[in-house]
Structure 1
Amino acid sequence: MIWYDDLYLSENIEKKADKIKWKITHNAGMLHMYVISLPQNNDSLLEIISTKELMQRYYPKKNLVIVGIAKGYEEAVTMAATIVVETMNSLGSTNVKQYLKEKRKENQKER
């Protein structure tokens, strides 16, 4: 798994982000947690994946780029929509990958 530098997080899990990332990476079970990832195909904007699904032995996690973590499916959908709206406002298109790359560059310049 590849973690996006400026990870999107639900408000209620911001303080626990490192612990949650560790659990996801080490296949520890967590109920009602979802990750937002860049799509494995080019037909989608983002993917919402349950952490239960990620625990499956043969789930293709190697090149999975996680850009957000949400508690509950509704928050995951809201977070994905927020990312797409930010992309539209910034680029005028739905190229989420390009938007996140540019956002990462901007954040690195600020540091």
Structure 2
Amino acid sequence: MRWYEDLYVGYNLLDKKRQVIRKIKNGKPQLNKYVITLPQNDYDTLEIYPSNILNQKWYRDSDMVVVGITEGMEEAMDMIQLIIMDCLNDTGEVKVKKYIMSKMEAGEA
């Protein structure tokens, strides 16, 4: 699992960002925390997972890229909208995976 350097953080987690990330990485259970990731396929835009699912070995060992963390599903949906709008404004397209990966490769994030 990789973390996007310019991580999107929900407004309810701004003060707890480091603590939440540390707990997720260490497999500590957290209620109502969600991660937004790039899709594992090439046709979806983004995926939302409860943070607790990342404790499973498959997710820990996967090459998934976490691009955002939120508190609550509603905030996760708002965050997805923000990410898509950022991509659209910067590129004129809604190819979020390509957009994020190019920023990671360029060292921008």
Q: Shorter-chain TM-score: what band?
A: 0.7 to 0.9
1:69-88 to 2 correspondences below 5 Å: 69-88=69-88
* Mapped contact 2:35–2:48 kept (Cα < 8 A): yes
What's the C-alpha RMSD, in Å, of the aligned pairs? 1.8
CA distance in 2, matches of 1:101, 1:44: 15
Q: Which residue of 2 aligns with 1:33?
A: 33
Aligned-residue offset at 1:95? 1.2
1:70-103 Cα offsets, whole Å, 9 max, x none, are: 0000000110111011111221111112322455
**SS of aligned partner of 1:60:** helix
5+ long unaligned stretches in structure 1: none
* Aligned residue pair count: 107
Q: Is the 8 A contact 1:84 1:94 kept in 2?
A: yes
C-alpha distance in structure 2 between counterparts of 1:106 and 1:23, whole Å: 26
- The TM-score normalised by the length of structure 1 is 0.84
Instruction: Tell me what 2:59 maps to.
Output: 60
Match of 1:92 in 2: 92
Shift of residue 59, structure 1, vs aligned partner: 3.3
Extract unaligned runs of 5+ from structure 2.
Answer: none
